Amino acid sequence: MDKNPDMVDGESTATQPSATESLRPMFRPRSVAVVGVSRDSNHIGSRVLDAILQSKFPGPIYPVNPKAETIAGIKSYPSVAAIPEPVDLAVIAVPAAAVLDVVDDCARRGVRALIVISAGFAEVGPEGKGLQDQLLAKVRGYGMRMLGPNCLGLLSTDPAGPLNASFVRVAPPVGNVAMSSDSGALGLAVLAGASRLGLGISACVSVGNRADVSSNDLLEYWEHDERTGVILLYLESFGNPDRFARIARRVGRRKPIVAVKAGRTTAGQRAAGSHTAALATSDVAVEALFHQTGIIRAETLAELFDLAASLSSQPLPAGNRVALLTNAGGPAILCADACEAGGLNLPVLSEKTANRLASFLPAAASRTNPVDMIASAGPAQFRQAIATLLTSGEIDALIVIQVEIGTSGTGDFDSALVAGVNEARQVGATARPVLFCRMPETATRNVQASASETIPCYAFPEAAARVLARMTEYAAWRGRPAGKIPALDHADIDTAREVCRRALAARGNGWLTAEESRMVLSAMKLPVAAGGVARTANEASHLALELGFPVAVKLASTKLVHKTEIGGVRLNLADEAAVGHAFDEIRERLARDGKLDAMEGVLVQPMLADGTEVMVGAKRDSVFGALLAFGLGGIHVEILGDVCFRVAPLTDRDAADMIRCIRGFRLLEGYRGHPPADLPALEDLLLRVSRLVESVPEIAEIDLNPVFALTPGRGCRIVDARLFVGSRPS
């Protein structure tokens, strides 16, 4: 389906009601019809009916089967339209060819929401895609909302109206974690895992082909759902990244979003594409998008569960100071290493706190940080140490590591853990998360501290450290002011766009000439270094004289990109004769190589004597739009690969973060006599490039390398620029 400004991710923004209102009949229906129920208990429709019954749904349930009067002891109806009472939700499990007629039937009864379990649509190829388009058109025309097709269904644990409208009988604990899954099988795995680990679920949805309801809609619904505090996503592809980014950035300010994105590798992308019939996307763009929107990325399903356990039950840390409390030194060392690798700080405890610990710990215990109580420490000392550390005011989080050594039962240490945490909570230490690690792994289980708090338990200390690091990073993101897309003074987007369109019309896909590139960049008030293009040796010499010596002379060509490899760059030319000679040498070299027709002339520029070389780039992704890059420039970008990526449009916060996230930022700050760079000028450059590539869709790629970042107050200068217009070959 073609997209237009009023059609985003399959949702008409001009006419669709809010997700909260439109999805309520799906999550909180007053009555449910199941279409395609059979007397065969193994039939999908029958399994759906059984799951709804087992979930104790409180409203009327209507089986639909034209050949049966009763099913599972419940009166059956030949069609949805024949049901005498209103129906909010219909679950459809009939062959794909029959689904359209069922939708018409549902419309006659006034059904407001559909869950189409049936497969055989876009996932099977072009014919199925055509059928899915017809289905979506009907659903839209009737003003319904639809989950699926080709989905597992929906589960909600709302005590006021529990509903398992799926064909899987799983009963996870009630909790505050909601999940959207692009894969039905993964959704099932999460439900089974949640049941096994005791992770409380508010809802779990398999979105299937996402013809109508998508993860974006679910994010908006759960944003306002009081029962949901943490949102989990399993994503194989993105329908509309722009809308996803806007929603996720907003929702993430209130509720943590944890995502597993499949398809990081080429093989994984092929598998994701074949499974969803959707384009697999660049993982660099995914990583950038998640960073900008505050989404916490889980590398594995195990990490997804680990993160959900803490985020759903513990407060976010106010800072990165963490204390480790243990009865065994080795695991604490591993945990300390993992904490520091994740950006956490293990501060040395004050003398006051150390003395308090010394008053009850064994004499041989370590009272620094980690606090090693040694193996002889018992539950009572665990309790006192936990309360002491949490109330010290010197830490933001606590990781407790207990290795079973047989001196006391796990129940005694559980009680000590609960007592110590509750004691600290009662005197005001409510904003400091506590994570627990018990070894060996077979002893792992979460600990209920109170009616409102569960202490998550991890099998290995490194897992607890990684989770706390991710929580801390997310808390810092949420605590920062939201970025803004600033207005840019004097940017002439119309001129930049016209230059690109004329070049594309005249020559088709390809690189702009040096003159065209300078015109585009100048229109955006980007700091292009002084200079110009000369087509003869005399022109080059005269231009150099006007600019002042020394100068650089570089080949100007839309066909030969890597100028240094063919001798097309000459630096530090001190007089007119040297400039003319350089022009002639470049021309002769191209003539020998049979490439003279690729020469447009030479670019003559004054040499810059100081500054730090950086690079700024942009590349248009077929799914995500423009992807911006920033790093150290010149040859460093290829050798070191020290580059930070973000997805356009950039906010002022994004631009500042891009510069500061590279490992070479210390050089830009000023390092060992190396002068600092003009950081505001670099931020402005990034924002202008972002606006340019976002506003001029003809631009497929921008490469500004090197850009000389001058000292504070002197700005920066773009020395070399390449712009590609049209479709860029992948």
Confidence band for 636, pLDDT divided at 50, 70 and 90: low
Tokens at 635, concatenated: 């040859």
Q: Is residue 622 packed enough to be buried (19+ CB in 10 Å), middle (13-18) or exposed (0-12)? A: exposed
pLDDT at 225 over 90: yes
Q: What is the pLDDT of residue 565?
A: 79
Q: Mean pLDDT across the stretch 256-271?
A: 70
Burial class (CB in 10 A: 0-12, 13-18, 19+), 714: middle
pLDDT in tens, 137-154: 999 999 999 999 999 999
Strand order in the sheet with 230-235: 163-166, 153-156, 201-206, 174-181, 230-235, 257-261, 296-297
Q: What is the mean pLDDT of residues 20-39?
A: 95
Q: Which two tokens stand for residue 387?
A: 């309360």
Kindly compute the dihedral angle of the four CA atoms of residues 326, 331, 337, 343, in this order, to the nearest 10 degrees.
-50
| Chain segment 531-582, per-residue pLDDT in tens | 999 999 999 999 999 999 999 999 999 888 778 878 899 999 999 999 999 9
SS3 663: coil
pLDDT, tens digit, 9 for 90 and up, residues 649-707: 999 999 999 999 999 999 999 988 789 999 999 999 999 999 999 999 999 999 999 99
Rounded Cα–Cα distance for residues 31 and 28 (Å): 9
Decide if pLDDT at 274 tops 50: no
> Which CA distances in Å does 103 have to 94, 111, 432?
11, 9, 52
430-466: b (≥16 Cβ within 10 Å) or e: eebbbbbbbbeeeebebbebeeebbbbbbbbbbbbbb
The pLDDT tens digits for 457-513 are 999 999 999 999 999 999 999 999 989 999 998 999 999 999 999 999 999 999 999
Condensed to tens digits (0 to 9), the pLDDT of residues 510-534 reads 999 999 999 999 999 999 999 999 9
- What burial letters (b/e) apply to 661-688, b meaning 16+ CB within 10 Å? bbebbebbeeeeeebebbbebbbbbbbb
Distance CA 505, CA 388 (A): 73
b/e sequence 605-614, b meaning 16+ C-beta within 10 Å: bbbeeebbbb
CB atoms closer than 10 angstroms to residue 356: 20
- Dig out the tokens for 430 from the structure: 């409510």
Contact 433, 314 (CB under 8 A): yes
Q: Is it the case that residue 395 has pLDDT exceeding 90?
A: yes
In 3D space, the residue among 148, 90, 144 whose CA is nearest the CA of residue 116 turns out to be 148
* CA pair distance 556, 566, nearest whole angstrom: 12
8 A C-beta contact, residue 678 and residue 614: no
Rounded to an integer, the average pLDDT of 607-617 is: 90
pLDDT band, very low/low/confident/very high, at 14 (cuts 50, 70, 90): very low
3-state SS, residue 11: strand
Q: Where are the alpha helices (DSSP H) in 118-265?
A: 126-141, 184-197, 215-223, 241-251
Give the pLDDT confidence score for residue 409 in this predicted structure.
57
**Rounded-to-integer distance, Cα 545 and Cα 561, Å:** 27
CA dihedral 720, 722, 723, 727 (to 10 degrees): -160
pLDDT of residue 170: 83
Find the angle CA(97)-CA(237)-CA(214) to the nearest 5 degrees.
60
Q: What is the pLDDT of residue 240?
A: 85
Going by the DSSP 8-state scheme, the letter that residue 85 receives in this structure is: S
H helices of 452-535, in order, are 461-479, 493-507, 514-523
